[in-house]
Amino acid sequence: MDKSAARLTPASRLFKYVVSVPPFVFLLLLLVAPSIIMVLASFRYPGEFGGLAPLISVDPRTLHGATLETYRFFFSDYIYTEIFIKSIVMACATTLICLIMAYPLALLIARSPKKPRNLMVLLVILPFASNFLIRVYAWMIVLGPQSALSQLLNSALHLFGIAPVHLLFSPFAVLVAMVYAHLPFMVLPLYTNLEKHDPSLLDAAQDLGANAWQRFWRVTLPLSLPGVFSGSALVFIPVLGMFVIPEILGGTGDMLIGNLIKEQFLGTRDWPFGSTLSIMLTVTVLLIAWLAARLGARRGRYAQA
């Protein structure tokens, strides 16, 4: 028997339950219960006027009961697979660009003196002080046809005899706004990780004859992989289900899986099919997270070897 458990007094046990029960109930009601409802709804028929059809109906002409029709419909039409692939490609591109932009910035912040470091961290999180929709709508002004950026770009293209391009309502606008909105989620985990690195490891590598690139590749980068994986997850998963940015800045051909799910619930009101799409999105995210965890564990074993 564990001695520490034997020493627990009734008051300490009560305190443990008081502290642990509210978060458990919170997760149960707001995470587990909605997931179960979503799974059950995916096996229902859509209602005549939207929503869910009844499980039992006296009218034989009314669809009722449980069915696999939504899953059969999903796997029978390639367009939904295409939208999934497009969403994954957009999420991967956003994550990669955020990583390329965030890593030098996080490294600069981590190696700066304390006062400038605190100021730079504040500047990174400062966009969160304003409303997300306002920041997205601001890109309509920046990328609009009358904006300075569009006119400068089209003037440069005109010199080479290239037709003008429209930045707004395009995949480019969606990608730019995705990177802008999620860049802080990549910077902060990287900065938190890089700040904890022991500078003596770099000094030791330099004493052994390693140049700046070798010190980064052999010391800094392997130690920062946990921050890279954390930041990538914080960017990839929200981007994969994002619907606001494509809805506002994307064109007619820029529908992602988040937009499709939103349309099923709020537009066509086909809740069973919307639930099926949500489940498939959840399975995709869990599968990618599992593969990333396996890759991270394997890289960790290689680093230890």
Helix axes 69-76, 271-304, angle to 10 degrees: 70
Query: Hey, what's the torsion of the CAs at 250, 132, 98, 226, to 10 degrees?
Result: -130
Q: Which of 83, 30, 34, 39 is nearest to 272 (CA)?
A: 39
**In this predicted structure, what is the pLDDT of residue 1?**
45
Q: In whole angstroms, give the CA distance from residue 54 to residue 284.
A: 30
Q: In whole angstroms, give the CA distance from residue 94 to residue 235.
A: 8
Q: In whole angstroms, give the CA distance from residue 107 to residue 193.
A: 10
Can you tell me which residue has the tokens 């796997």? Answer: 75
The tens place of each residue's pLDDT in the chain, 305 residues long, gives 445 555 667 777 777 878 888 888 888 998 899 999 999 999 998 888 888 888 777 666 667 778 899 999 999 988 998 999 999 999 999 999 999 999 999 999 999 988 899 999 999 999 888 899 999 999 999 998 888 888 898 898 888 888 888 888 989 999 999 999 999 999 999 999 999 888 888 888 888 888 888 888 888 898 998 899 889 989 999 999 999 999 999 887 788 999 999 999 998 899 999 999 999 999 988 888 888 777 766 655 544 54
**In this predicted structure, what is the pLDDT of residue 208?**
84
Helix, strand or coil, per DSSP, at residue 44: strand
Q: Which of 36, 39, 33, 34 is nearest to 71 (CA)?
A: 39
Helix axes 271-304, 221-241, angle to 10 degrees: 180
Q: b vs e for 172-209, b when ≥16 Cβ sit within 10 Å of the residue's Cβ?
A: ebbbbbbbbbbbbbbbbbbbbbbeebeeeebeebeeee
**In this predicted structure, what is the pLDDT of residue 65?**
78
